[in-house]
Structure 1
Amino acid sequence: MARNDYDPASAPPDGRPAAKAPLFDATATPWRGSLNGEALGSPVTVLAYGNDTPGEGPRLHVHPYDETFVVTAGNARFFVGDAVIDASAGEVVFGPKGVPHRFVNLGPGRLQTIDIHHSPRWIQTDLD
């Protein structure tokens, strides 16, 4: 189905060039890396996170901007404020700005995520 969500004339190009930069070493597993959006002239920062150990994950932390998590492999349990959300490959979890969050690998096997920080720079305060 064709989409026609907006008039292209209402949002003309702003002159920024297309760009690329590495996010992670694709020969290493699990994938881990980060790319600040400012390196590409982008308003978002992207992280690749992975681990092979059930129960393991990032520590509790908070950001001054929203974060979107894309589970690309495995199963995770997200703790976002008071919410506990289980997510599997193909699902997306949203973490609002200012709300402490963390997640763990539920297993079995590898957990792999792509984490989109709605900021041109990765800004974080660890809480534990």
Structure 2
Amino acid sequence: MTRRDFDPATVTPDGRPPAKAKLFDGTRDGPYRGSINGEALATQITVLTYGNDEPGSGPVLHVHPYDEVFVIQQGRARFFVGDQTIDAEAGETVLGPAGLPHRFVNLGPGRLQTLDIHLSPRWIQTNLE
């Protein structure tokens, strides 16, 4: 499929160089294996990795002042976002809008692995539990 969504001549590079940073250490224990603040890459998004092998477990209820997008890479999860409950599985994404408290749990069986994209140059969070 050929895509031509915009004219490349209309975009001027802003002078930032390409950048690289390590997101996670695969040997690290625990559900949070790593994160990269957008500031490290001179961008406006922060990326986290989260995973656990225990059905029923997940992050505590929390809130951010910006949107968060969850990419389910492996397994199945139940998200509680505001007053909504959303089940999602590998290959699906879930939006946690700014200001809405949210959490999720591993539905099992097996591992839940997510890539969490915070639309902010820094990870800013208030835990509510």
* TM-score, scaled relative to structure 2: 0.95
The 3 A distance-change label for structure 1 pair 31 and 122 is closer
Unaligned runs of 5+ in 1: none
Q: Which residue of 2 aligns with 1:98?
A: 99
> How far apart, CA to CA, are the structure 2 residues paired with 1:93 and 1:18?
28
> How far apart, CA to CA, are the structure 2 residues paired with 1:94 and 1:22?
25
Q: Does 1:26 align with 2:26?
A: yes
Indicate conservation of the 8 Å contact 1:25/1:31, yes or no: no
Provide Cα deviations, 1:76-116, integer angstroms capped at 9, x if missing partner.
00000011000001100011100000000000011000000
Aligned length: 128
> How far apart, CA to CA, are the structure 2 residues paired with 1:31 and 1:104?
14
Q: Does 1:66 align with 2:41?
A: no
> How far apart, CA to CA, are the structure 2 residues paired with 1:22 and 1:125?
25
> How far apart, CA to CA, are the structure 1 residues paired with 2:62 and 2:2?
41
> How far apart, CA to CA, are the structure 2 residues paired with 1:89 and 1:12?
36
Provide Cα deviations, 1:51-83, integer angstroms capped at 9, x if missing partner.
011010000000000000000000000000011
> How far apart, CA to CA, are the structure 2 residues paired with 1:79 and 1:115?
15
Indicate conservation of the 8 Å contact 1:69/1:113, yes or no: yes
The aligned amino acid for 1:57 is G
> How far apart, CA to CA, are the structure 2 residues paired with 1:4 and 1:27?
41
Give the CA deviation at 1:10: 2.0
Identity %: 71
Aligned-pair Cα RMSD in Å = 1.2
Structure 1 stretches of at least 4 aligned residues deviating more than 2 Å after TM superposition: 26-31
The aligned amino acid for 2:63 is V
Unaligned runs of 5+ in 2: none
* TM-score, scaled relative to structure 1: 0.95
> How far apart, CA to CA, are the structure 1 residues paired with 2:93 and 2:126?
23
Q: Which residue of 2 aligns with 1:122?
A: 123
Q: Which residue of 2 aligns with 1:54?
A: 55
**Structure 2 counterparts to residues 9-48 of structure 1, below 5 A:** 9-28=9-28, 32-48=33-49
Q: Which residue of 1 aligns with 2:113?
A: 112
Give the CA deviation at 1:32: 1.7
